[in-house]
Structure 1
Amino acid sequence: MLRKLPALAALSLLVACSQPASDETGTAADANIETPEMTLIDRALQISAPTAEQRPLTIEQLGRTRTDEYAWLRDDNWQEVMRDPSVLQADIRAHLEAENAYYNAVMSPTEALQERIFQEIRGRIREDDSSVPERDGEFEYYTRFREGGQYPVFARRPVDPASPEEDAEQILLDGDVEADGIEYLDFGTIAHSPDHRYLAWSVDTRGSEYYEIRIRDLTTGEDIATLTDESTGDFAWANDSSTLFWVWRDANGRSKRVYRQDRGAADSELVYDEPDDGFFVNVGNTAGDTYVVISTSGHTTSEVRLIDANNPASDPILVSARETDVEYSLTETGDGFYILTNLDGAVDFQVMRAPIDAPQRENWETVIDHRPGTLVTSLLGFRDWMVRVEREDALPRIIVRHLESGEEHTIAFAEEAYSLGVDAGFEFATDTMRFSYESPSTPEETYDYDMATRERELRKRQEIPSGHDPADYVVRRIMAPAHDGEQIPVTLLYHRDTPVDGTAPLMLYGYGSYGITIPAAFRVTPLSLVDRGMIYAIAHIRGSQARGYGWYLDGKLENKINTFRDFVSAGEALVAQGFTSRGNMVAYGGSAGGLLVGAAINLQPDLFAGAIAAVPFVDVINTMSDPTLPLTPPEWPEWGNPIEDPEAYDTIAEYSPYDNIEAIDYPHVLATAGLTDPRVTYWEPAKWTARLRATRADNGLTLMRTNMGAGHGGASGRFDSLRETAENWAFALMTVGLADAEVAELSTAAAE
């Protein structure tokens, strides 16, 4: 009904109907007089926001004192809430629901715009899309979607069918069927057994990241076992097609143990128990399936154990004992293990080799020396080949090495900014490697590459059903000067008709933590902004590895402030170089990128018109001081330990967004949250928005939208998640003034 009403009528109806969840969490929207000249922002500011009750809690820590007036929003029973959201404390639920009601009232006039953006994005996605099949023995495996389907279908076909009947597709797992009747569904690992008879798969139905592991007999299509409902979703098959190794998640949400279990057995056997709460545990298989791998790691320290995949009952072999700030990983080839490591001060990593049957540290020998500024990001192993991916000045490249001769060659690409992906596939004894290429304007292209002949075969080009011409867009790479003289790479995408004269609004996206580097990749979602005249920019700031591992080290711990200052510097450079103007930008980031947004608007609030912080990590000092939370001990090497280290406390306190809110003018802010999010708990954005709204000197918008049935990634269905993006984009367009005319046009059309 409301979508058929003109914008003013829709807003007025919501204003009249909205009611406060309680007297403590705010009031309903006020009925105010509106005029046709009012902008969407003006109208939104007529609506009263919830006011969270302040219950000051004084915290003494390392001789320092802080007061947290919104600490009550953290449910003491949060572990149980992750598993059963219905047990959330009543006053907390009332506040979150009041925030959602306020958000809905503010954004109601943009509902038709949200729907248009959603349909645009959906129109760029081939709904019955499928992956390029990957061969494994007698079958080729692939993933596809059906028209209108929310979830993937996992399937296979025979490679050489003896008859047309045998050529029929076999559906292994149907996501739409599994999702029937439930609100949330996320698949973890999905892997067929080496003999192709069984399928093991992990699934989370709450958003809490506790996964069940189920076994399906592919000859009958029947599920024959559920091994656990307390896994991380990570598991690996042994070569007997009977034994699985899986990772257990404890009550605090941490990966702690590896169990060995027969697919038909009720009981499991403990194989490995990680004693350090700061380490993550994973399992996998080597490329040639010689070993099952148990990997344990902190953010900058790693350790590997190997179990003979042909003798799964054997004890794990320790490759090299953990050493603080030393990282290594193993890739199997027909020539032995190749080890990617920063051993001996190789900041940007070197490549070493060890025999398959003697992989211990004392047997490592250098194959490719460390080259400062050239970061080796990954290795792929084959029987006769080793492939490595490198990055220099934020651009990747692929190097192929023939193991017998040692000869190498590079696969070259021409665009100014682009992204590459590599895939070893299932086959080990092959000359074919698969890679993908894309840029912000060029949809993904998937190639099979013959490493011997150096010929590439295009297997798939991402189809944009609604039409897309890369020539309509401009991709640029600029270097922005940082406060200390460093040069920050910034990738730009804009429509060729957008004027580059300082008048265009701009969205500045960033992340900048954990060494994660945001690629210059093709995404269908930003096009809805770009086609409306916005410039979309990605700041490759410190804290990532865009310019090498040192770029990461310069954006963590005591250097963390560089991440936020780089983001601000990137925005200022875009103004100085005439791409946009001050106060005409929207800052956007999620998770640790939400921390980036929160810190940036504290540093330079007038640079931005709006800010979108998705599931933002904004309560840093409190979270890093709570060792019961899932990610706190593992992340002390990233942020510092403010429980024991006064310098770490002071460093975090200097930038923590929640602790640095001031009585100043801020941009319009939208924060999002997931009630069952174990990574960034819901109370972080809830507390941040409550304090920001109560403290800011202006009357700008402070909105929060909580998904009451999802976790860190938001809605799980592919179309449901696009609706959340459409809402974010509508907010962004509203804050820079690009939504008003379009909303008026849609309202007029609806009225007629």
Structure 2
Amino acid sequence: MPVFKDLPAAPIASKKPATDTRHGITRTDDYAWLRADNWQAMFKDPSILDPAIRQHLEAENTYMNAAMEDTKAVQKTLFAEMRGRIKEDDISVPVKDGPYAYGTFFVTGGEQPHYFRTPRDGGERHVLLDGDKENEGKSYFRLAGIDHSSDHKRGIWGYDDKGSEYFTLKVRDLETGEDLSDVIDNTGGGGVWAPDGKSFFYTLQDENHRPSKIYHHIIGTPQSSDRLVYEEEDAGFFMGVGGSLLDDFVYIDIHDHETSEYRLLSTKDLTAEPKIVAVRETGIEYSMTEGGEVFYILTNDGGAKDFKIMETPVDKPEKENWREVVAHKPGTLILSHMAYARHLLWLERKEGLPQIMIRDRRTGEEHAIAFEEEAYSLGLSGAAEYDTDVIRFSYSSMTTPSQLYDYNMVTRERTLLKTQEVPSGHNPDDYVTRRVFAPAWDGETVPVTLLYRKDTPLDGTAPCLLYGYGAYGITIPAGFNTNCLSLADRGFVYAIAHIRGGKDKGFAWYENGKMGKKTNTFKDFVAAADYLNQEKFTSYDRIVAEGGSAGGMLMGAVANMAPEKFAGIIAAVPFVDVLNTMLDDTLPLTPPEWPEWGNPIESKEDYDHIAGYSPYDNVGAKPYPPILALGGLTDPRVTYWEPAKWVARLREKTTGSAPILLRTNMDAGHGGASGRFQRLEEIAFEYAFALKVVGKM
């Protein structure tokens, strides 16, 4: 393994012991001071960060830059390769809606999308929003898109220019391109138009960055006069607002990770109080889509662990009127559903692979859209109009560039609209994608998706980047990723471990990787590494592990569990200070996260379980491999102090000589850099670290 040579002394964080006693247990945290007391205000104005904290983060960045100085050339090469695989002046296939078709495009060299529309059947492109123009002069800028009114005269657009995910909304005249005087601050990033285009609904974020209130804004009036439509008083629930294709209802979606509740507002009376559909019951989830005279409801009620679809009259949506239309099939997980004038469709996953199911609402006849590759990804975007027989979906695999199709649900004809272009060239036949299964400690098998070049020797000498997430039921798709080709072309095996905590093998796969069973997630990832080593796809000293956010927690856990099985670890915005975060109910995500991890404030059992795996709390005296941690100063999801504290403790405790590096983006939040090429620079940096630690520079 290469040695990080001639490094300056690593920053040593000051120790300022702070104690906390819960359930009769006292813990001491030497690095709690890195959490800014004024974090809420700092997210909106990063300049007010405590100078001592800023000085420490900047010292860490200086040290990191020194450690990675010799990778600058390869970073540039990687960036050029990845950029070369992007069609810089790419344009989407517009989506038809009424008299127009709406889409996005990029310009050569541009970082941000441009939103446009054309006449429905083609014609001159009219730019609605120039993202690059709005981005000028800003170190960070993220667009929330633009939503047009039903009369196509106005659009709501939103942006975040700090990375803190407090979005500002503006209203644009779509004919003139001029913004109106309306400015709505501290929102969740979007709005739902009333049918007449004279008002809209939006979600307000409170001082703790929680979406707690839904407001109704009338165009031309100040934000201070907006009517409060609904306030969610339980801090443990997320909330969003949406609309139906028929413009009949505004949906208020209230949920945590295991429970949901919907409230409906008929657009026939915008001043009415929202009407509840089914009162929240712990562990019962449901979501809704309108189908004319009925609502279709996707739910796990009645023990339907992998979900079923019900229908209920629009004028009687209460639970006692629900009637089953798609039965629960154990092992076949229904992920989402949509309804159109003549068809009901849903996306399901069976045996780890997705397929689109379509039912004729009149005859009940069903058919599926599926593909034959060993591992692939499907995306269902549906349609923007209710009275249609044509929907849109995308398909890709690790070797197959994304393909966009229109699909006629009556004739069952697929029309290929667009294939992702790789300007620098891509031959799928040069690569292999496989789905293998790693034996877990308890007899389960963990799916692992692999990508590598056909000429890669599978004799244990190939380096490997092993990626994992494993939380919230999120499944990492086996889709096309042009960036990882840069690793495959350098002899890497690129692997995705579909570990428990996701829903890759049904809802039970998720349940067995959360709360008291969380450690299954970590054991599954180590089992994937063991299998790849045993089967000689790679070797332990050639594996670089990578994960972000909750996947960063995974990285911290496996670093503590099996540091000897990894040549290096990349932890992006890592959720590693789990116990302290779950004990702090002022943080944005803490109360809504308790159903995922447990509530250590109320439950000693939850406290003990989290304390047993929380990466920060379990750093020990052992030789850790090289670790690269990445954070964002204004990140409201995984606060910057989590990786900062973790790195400080790792550096204090490690008995090895491998460097522990921290890179904090002082101008961004959870998602990193906002521009499409700026993001590639970050990926090139991460890949350069992977190349360095396995000696492939």
TM-score range, shorter chain: over 0.9
Q: Deviations over 1:45-68 (max 9, x none)?
A: x43211111111121111112111
CA-CA distance at 1:717 after TM superposition: 0.7
Q: Is the 8 A contact 2:106 2:112 kept in 1?
A: yes
Q: Which moved more, 1:167-176 or 1:461-470?
A: 167-176
CA distance in 2, matches of 1:199, 1:65: 54
- Hey, what does 1:56 align to over in structure 2? 17
Candidates 549, 552, 556, aligned match of 2:507? 549
- Hey, what does 1:118 align to over in structure 2? 79
Q: Which moved more, 1:168-177 or 1:333-342?
A: 333-342
CA distance in 1, matches of 2:74, 2:540: 26
Letter in 1 for 2:550: A
Q: Which moved more, 1:421-430 or 1:243-252?
A: 421-430
> Tell me, what secondary structure is at the counterpart of 1:344?
helix
Letter in 1 for 2:264: L
- Hey, what does 1:201 align to over in structure 2? 157
Candidates 132, 157, 178, aligned match of 1:176? 132
- Hey, what does 1:134 align to over in structure 2? 95
Alignment of 1:330-341 (within 5 A): 330-334=288-292, 336-341=294-299
- Hey, what does 1:18 align to over in structure 2? none
- Hey, what does 2:5 align to over in structure 1? 43
- Hey, what does 1:223 align to over in structure 2? 179
CA distance in 1, matches of 2:16, 2:552: 25
CA-CA distance at 1:189 after TM superposition: 4.5
> Tell me, what secondary structure is at the counterpart of 2:3?
helix
- Hey, what does 1:3 align to over in structure 2? none
CA-CA distance at 1:184 after TM superposition: 0.9
Q: Deviations over 1:295-315 (max 9, x none)?
A: 000111000011112432222
The Cα RMSD (Å) is 1.1
Q: Which moved more, 1:57-66 or 1:713-722?
A: 57-66
Candidates 14, 23, 28, aligned match of 1:67? 28
Alignment of 1:105-504 (within 5 A): 105-160=66-121, 167-266=123-222, 267-334=225-292, 336-504=294-462
Q: Is the 8 A contact 1:334 1:384 kept in 2?
A: no
CA distance in 2, matches of 1:398, 1:513: 24
- Hey, what does 1:10 align to over in structure 2? none
Q: Deviations over 1:200-253 (max 9, x none)?
A: 011111111111110011122110033421111132111111120000000010
- Hey, what does 1:689 align to over in structure 2? 647
> Tell me, what secondary structure is at the counterpart of 1:41?
coil
Q: Deviations over 1:410-457 (max 9, x none)?
A: 112110000000112211101001010000111100000000000000
Letter in 2 for 1:153: H
CA-CA distance at 1:355 after TM superposition: 1.4
Provide structure 2 residue ranges, at least 5 long, that are not aligned to the other structure: none
CA distance in 1, matches of 2:568, 2:517: 27
- Hey, what does 2:523 align to over in structure 1? 565
Letter in 1 for 2:16: R
CA distance in 2, matches of 1:47, 1:475: 42
Q: Deviations over 1:466-487 (max 9, x none)?
A: 0001111000000111111111
Letter in 1 for 2:330: P
Q: Is the 8 A contact 2:240 2:253 kept in 1?
A: yes
Candidates 619, 624, 632, aligned match of 2:577? 619
CA distance in 1, matches of 2:236, 2:414: 43
2:693 equivalent to 1:735: yes
> Tell me, what secondary structure is at the counterpart of 2:191?
strand
Letter in 1 for 2:304: A
2:622 equivalent to 1:661: no
- Hey, what does 2:547 align to over in structure 1? 589
- Bigger radius of gyration among the two: 1
Letter in 2 for 1:130: I
Candidates 686, 693, 702, aligned match of 2:660? 702
CA distance in 1, matches of 2:673, 2:611: 32
Q: Deviations over 1:166-193 (max 9, x none)?
A: x321110000000001111112252000
Q: Is the 8 A contact 2:295 2:314 kept in 1?
A: yes
Q: Is the 8 A contact 2:166 2:186 kept in 1?
A: yes
Q: Is the 8 A contact 1:666 1:696 kept in 2?
A: yes
CA distance in 1, matches of 2:463, 2:182: 52
CA distance in 1, matches of 2:130, 2:485: 31
> Structure 1 runs of 4+ off > 4 angstroms?
none
Q: Is the 8 A contact 1:279 1:634 kept in 2?
A: yes
CA distance in 1, matches of 2:121, 2:672: 41
Letter in 2 for 1:447: Y
Q: Is the 8 A contact 2:238 2:592 kept in 1?
A: yes
CA distance in 2, matches of 1:112, 1:445: 34
CA distance in 2, matches of 1:368, 1:428: 21
Q: Is the 8 A contact 1:511 1:592 kept in 2?
A: yes
Letter in 1 for 2:5: R
Q: Is the 8 A contact 2:101 2:121 kept in 1?
A: no
Letter in 2 for 1:438: S
CA-CA distance at 1:392 after TM superposition: 1.8
Q: Is the 8 A contact 2:304 2:328 kept in 1?
A: yes
Q: Is the 8 A contact 1:243 1:263 kept in 2?
A: yes
Q: Is the 8 A contact 1:418 1:520 kept in 2?
A: yes
> Tell me, what secondary structure is at the counterpart of 1:120?
helix
> Tell me, what secondary structure is at the counterpart of 2:270?
coil
CA distance in 2, matches of 1:285, 1:117: 42
Candidates 584, 596, 604, aligned match of 1:646? 604
CA-CA distance at 1:577 after TM superposition: 1.5
Q: Which moved more, 1:685-694 or 1:279-288?
A: 279-288
Q: Is the 8 A contact 2:379 2:393 kept in 1?
A: yes
Letter in 2 for 1:176: D
CA distance in 1, matches of 2:524, 2:248: 45
Q: Is the 8 A contact 1:243 1:312 kept in 2?
A: no
CA distance in 2, matches of 1:310, 1:498: 63
Letter in 1 for 2:59: A
> Tell me, what secondary structure is at the counterpart of 2:295?
strand
Give aligned-pair identity as a percent.
54
> Tell me, what secondary structure is at the counterpart of 2:567?
strand
- Hey, what does 1:84 align to over in structure 2? 45
CA distance in 2, matches of 1:390, 1:462: 24
CA-CA distance at 1:331 after TM superposition: 1.3
The number of aligned residues is 695
CA-CA distance at 1:102 after TM superposition: 0.6
CA distance in 2, matches of 1:198, 1:412: 38
CA distance in 2, matches of 1:421, 1:718: 21
Q: Is the 8 A contact 1:387 1:398 kept in 2?
A: yes
Q: Deviations over 1:354-408 (max 9, x none)?
A: 1122222111001111111110001011111111111122210111110000000
CA distance in 2, matches of 1:115, 1:137: 45
CA-CA distance at 1:317 after TM superposition: 1.4
2:55 equivalent to 1:94: yes
Q: Is the 8 A contact 2:383 2:390 kept in 1?
A: no
CA distance in 2, matches of 1:235, 1:62: 44
CA distance in 2, matches of 1:411, 1:397: 6
